[in-house]
A and B are shown apart, each in its own frame.
Chain A
Amino acid sequence: MPLIKHGTLVEDIWHETDDFADVQTLAPLGPVIVTLNVWRQHRAAILAYDGRLGLRLAPGQTPDLVAADLHHFELVELEFAKFTDGRAYSHARLLRERHGFKGELRAVGEVLRDQLSFMLRCGFDAFSLETDQQAEALLAAVDEFAHWYQPAPGTSGRLDHRSTIPALRQGAGNSTNRDTAGRAATWAY
């Protein structure tokens, strides 16, 4: 499946599985994404492979469930079973802001153009798509807005350097204090 990462179409090198038996065959081949259930049941065995690991969370699974283990994962995948189910937006922010997750944060499932900006701003940096065609349309959505009102990981961190409107009003737009400390100072409404 096509994958957009950091704004470009890239090859997806990750294998995905919800079956521990597959992990045994897939892990030697390359990086593997496991579901939370597989992880919980076979944690020790999976760690023994010493390969690159990713975790997939279903819409109802908060990252709080796995907070202590997040350092084992290079990638976390959050599922949008339906595009109208917005739980993963909260989960993405929790991962980035509360748990300090720095790896790839991937959106899968119903990933549509008109939801892309919301996802980016919540900290997603990779998007799994159905078709290549979709990729073009999706990327077109990134620049629909120059600025937003709210501070969020995607607008204050490394993913999207656009300032928030409140920050611009305070003239803090392009200054260097815009990372975490700067954000705190400028909701910054």
Chain B
Amino acid sequence: MCRYDEFDHAFVAERVDQFRGQVARRVAGDLSEDEFKPLRLMNGLYLQLHAYMLRVAIPYGTLSATQMRMLAHIARTYDRGYGHFTTRQNIQYNWPALADVPDILDDLASVEMHAIQTSGNCIRNTTADPLAGVAADEIEDPRVYAEIIRQWSTLHPEFSFLPRKFKIAVTGAPNDRAVTRGHDIGLRMHRDLQGNPSFEVMVGGGQGRTPILAKTIRNFLPVEHLLSYLEAILRVYNQLGRRDNIYKARIKILVQSEGEAAFAEQVEAEWQQIHNNAPGALDLPEAERNRIAAYFAPHGYADLPKQSPILDAALDTDPAFAAWVESNVQGHKQPGYAIATISLKPHGGIPGDASAGQMDAVADLAERYGFDEIRITYKQNLVLPDVPKADLHTVWQELVDLGLGTANAGRISDIIACPGLDYCNLANARSIPIAQRISERFTDLQREREIGDLSLNISGCINACAHHHVANIGILGVDKKGVEYYQITLGGVADENAAIGAVIGPAFEEHQIADAVETIVDVYLNERETDERFIETYQRVGPQPFKEKLYATD
């Protein structure tokens, strides 16, 4: 777990004071809303439909129990008793008052958290593989680099007024759990030919109205050059990215218009110049990498046997638990331990929402059954990363009591949904009630199991915050003359084989959408060959069988 040192503490405290001053100047009328808006956004504060929304960063998706309790405290004290976990390892509060926000930031700073750059046209909270440090397939812990990027990007003097928002994701493993190709910059660690860890640098990914997967512009970037290379990419973008049209301002459009090869050449040229100008500037010395890495050193794991008889007995006697283990528990790199996903997707619930009480209870579980750590995933779920196998049954029973024991991780009801028109100022249609309605169709766990791995994401507008483009089944809410309609895309993938889904046909009305999803599932079950996942069937048979059933005229 990364710890602030005296400098980080001082810096974040100064940032809170600065924002307190900015709020006071806004209220006093010294700042206009046009001037204040970029400032509040750089501290994660939006003005939504009914209230302000504060987005708090959970850097690289790792939280301590103390930090989780603070999130609960903020939900209770300044909000309405709950928070919403997002796809990019943030938590959002939907009802804070402007005057309270500096106090909230003070509270966050007391547990080494902040809302710096969770919004605005700057480098956003850098995300990482939620299973960093515990996944068996990892080369190096990506959080080391995410933390270095966090510091480097924090109030960067040159890159705080970019053409548009800028998102970076890092993974240290070949299996991509951080949607790196969906980011402005994705960094994926590989070993180079000499066996040294290095980054594949992918640029120009993004969702929105023009979904594009990031292109690899460098296969093996030595890790020590990470910051200078990022600086080169950002400098090219800051100067050449479009500023005349908000819909064409992301780096993906620049990469597209310049061409991938030409863009890569510009970056390389800029990078060379940075090096020639000040050789070694921005290099990451090994000592510094080691200093940060020490924060993420493996926990003091006990020497446990690989198999747990207690677990095996529970699996034999408790089928509901066995179902949860099957969907929500993954192998740990350490024998005798397991990674447990806490689903924030109870059937009929609001995807990603947790009450203050649930947050507190999860903090307790992290202390009792792990090393005081909780992770936040791309799927808007929580993870207990270090549960001894022998404790899994007890943990699950406690989770069930908390309403957090749903056995649906990775299943069709594990829906990613944005807040949609129930909260969001940009939304055209509601997302949450659609997610609720669909997940209520799949309350039968046997049926969900039968359907297997399937991602279903719902965005309430073209900004695609719920990443519907990279979902197996993507749903996009649109507005047609004041009426909500929902368009379906099929075939998206968010992992290392990322793909953009294709629109299947005309949009559906609100009351038709859950039926349409059931139809899609039925076609899949009909068409699938043994053990095929939804996406494999879709890729084999194509859209036609789905189209025929969805738009059958009789």
Q: Which residue numbers of A lie inside 8 Å of B, CB to CB?
A: 62, 83-87, 89-91, 93, 97-98, 112, 114-115, 117-119, 121-122, 137, 144-152, 154, 165-166, 168-169, 180, 183-185, 187-189
Q: Which residue numbers of B lie inside 8 Å of A, CB to CB?
A: 5, 7-8, 10-11, 14-15, 17-18, 21-22, 30, 35, 38-39, 121, 148, 151-152, 154-162, 227, 235, 238-239, 243, 273, 277-285, 288, 291
Which of A84, A97, A169, A189 counts the most B-chain CB atoms under 10 A from its CB?
A: A189
Q: How many Å lie between the Cα of A169 and that of B5 in the bound state?
A: 9
Q: How many Å lie between the Cα of A177 and that of B393 in the bound state?
A: 59
Shortest CB distance A49–B (Å) = 32
| Cβ contacts A to B, 13 pairs, < 8 Å | A62-B239, A83-B161, A89-B161, A90-B235, A90-B239, A117-B157, A118-B157, A150-B156, A152-B157, A165-B11, A166-B288, A187-B284, A188-B285
- Contacts A86-B161, A89-B157; is A146 near B281 (CB within 8 Å)? no
The reply to whether B238 and A89 contact each other, CB–CB distance below 8 Å, is yes
The reply to whether B281 and A183 contact each other, CB–CB distance below 8 Å, is yes
The reply to whether B5 and A184 contact each other, CB–CB distance below 8 Å, is no
Complex contacts, A183 vs chain B, CB 8 Å:
278, 281
Q: Find the A residue at minimum CB distance from B155.
A: A148
The reply to whether B35 and A189 contact each other, CB–CB distance below 8 Å, is no
Complex contacts, B15 vs chain A, CB 8 Å:
145
Complex contacts, B291 vs chain A, CB 8 Å:
169
The reply to whether A168 and B152 contact each other, CB–CB distance below 8 Å, is no
Complex contacts, B8 vs chain A, CB 8 Å:
165
- Contacts A86-B161, A145-B14, A184-B278; is A189 near B7 (CB within 8 Å)? no
Q: Find the A residue at minimum CB distance from B291.
A: A169
Which of B11, B161, B285 counts the most A-chain CB atoms under 10 A from its CB?
A: B161
The reply to whether B281 and A184 contact each other, CB–CB distance below 8 Å, is yes
Q: Find the A residue at minimum CB distance from B5.
A: A169
The reply to whether A165 and B39 contact each other, CB–CB distance below 8 Å, is no
Complex contacts, B155 vs chain A, CB 8 Å:
117-118, 145, 148-149
Q: Which 3 pairs, one residue from A and one from B, show the smallest C-beta to C-beta distance? A: A86-B161, A121-B157, A165-B7
The reply to whether A146 and B14 contact each other, CB–CB distance below 8 Å, is yes
The reply to whether A145 and B121 contact each other, CB–CB distance below 8 Å, is no
Q: Find the A residue at minimum CB distance from B275.
A: A184
The reply to whether A86 and B288 contact each other, CB–CB distance below 8 Å, is no
Q: Find the A residue at minimum CB distance from B288.
A: A189
- Contacts A90-B158, A90-B235; is A149 near B273 (CB within 8 Å)? no
The reply to whether A98 and B277 contact each other, CB–CB distance below 8 Å, is yes
Q: How many Å lie between the Cα of A114 and that of B35 in the bound state?
A: 9
Shortest CB distance B208–A (Å) = 19
Q: How many Å lie between the Cα of A84 and that of B284 in the bound state?
A: 31
Which of B157, B158, B279, B281 counts the most A-chain CB atoms under 10 A from its CB?
A: B157
Shortest CB distance B3–A (Å) = 13
The reply to whether B158 and A184 contact each other, CB–CB distance below 8 Å, is no
Q: Find the A residue at minimum CB distance from B292.
A: A189
With beta carbons under 8 angstroms apart, the residue of A62, A83, A137, A184 that contacts B280 is A184
Q: How many Å lie between the Cα of A183 and that of B282 in the bound state?
A: 9
The reply to whether B238 and A87 contact each other, CB–CB distance below 8 Å, is yes
The reply to whether B282 and A189 contact each other, CB–CB distance below 8 Å, is yes
Complex contacts, A97 vs chain B, CB 8 Å:
277-278
The reply to whether B151 and A152 contact each other, CB–CB distance below 8 Å, is no
The reply to whether B158 and A152 contact each other, CB–CB distance below 8 Å, is yes
The reply to whether A112 and B35 contact each other, CB–CB distance below 8 Å, is yes
With beta carbons under 8 angstroms apart, the residue of B39, B238, B277 that contacts A90 is B238
Shortest CB distance B273–A (Å) = 6
Complex contacts, B39 vs chain A, CB 8 Å:
114
The reply to whether A85 and B243 contact each other, CB–CB distance below 8 Å, is yes
Shortest CB distance B151–A (Å) = 5
The reply to whether A93 and B158 contact each other, CB–CB distance below 8 Å, is yes
With beta carbons under 8 angstroms apart, the residue of B121, B157, B161, B279 that contacts A150 is B157
Q: How many Å lie between the Cα of A147 and that of B12 in the bound state?
A: 11
With beta carbons under 8 angstroms apart, the residue of B22, B160, B284 that contacts A86 is B160
With beta carbons under 8 angstroms apart, the residue of B10, B148, B239, B278 that contacts A146 is B10
The reply to whether B278 and A180 contact each other, CB–CB distance below 8 Å, is yes
Complex contacts, A189 vs chain B, CB 8 Å:
148, 151-152, 227, 282-285, 288
Q: Find the B residue at minimum CB distance from A164.
A: B7
The reply to whether A150 and B277 contact each other, CB–CB distance below 8 Å, is no
Complex contacts, A144 vs chain B, CB 8 Å:
14, 17-18, 21
Complex contacts, B288 vs chain A, CB 8 Å:
166, 189
Complex contacts, A188 vs chain B, CB 8 Å:
281-283, 285
Q: How many Å lie between the Cα of A93 and that of B235 in the bound state?
A: 10
Q: Find the A residue at minimum CB distance from B156.
A: A150
Q: Find the B residue at minimum CB distance from A99.
A: B277
Q: How many Å lie between the Cα of A144 and that of B19 in the bound state?
A: 10
The reply to whether B282 and A151 contact each other, CB–CB distance below 8 Å, is yes
Complex contacts, A91 vs chain B, CB 8 Å:
239
Given contacts A86-B158, A119-B157, A180-B278, 5 further A-B contacts (CB under 8 A): A90-B158, A148-B155, A154-B157, A188-B282, A188-B283
Shortest CB distance A182–B (Å) = 11
Q: How many Å lie between the Cα of A168 and that of B162 in the bound state?
A: 28
The reply to whether B280 and A84 contact each other, CB–CB distance below 8 Å, is no
The reply to whether A147 and B283 contact each other, CB–CB distance below 8 Å, is no
The reply to whether A145 and B11 contact each other, CB–CB distance below 8 Å, is yes
Q: How many Å lie between the Cα of A129 and that of B291 in the bound state?
A: 44
Complex contacts, A148 vs chain B, CB 8 Å:
11, 155, 157
Shortest CB distance A120–B (Å) = 8
Q: How many Å lie between the Cα of A169 and that of B152 in the bound state?
A: 14
With beta carbons under 8 angstroms apart, the residue of B7, B235, B238 that contacts A169 is B7
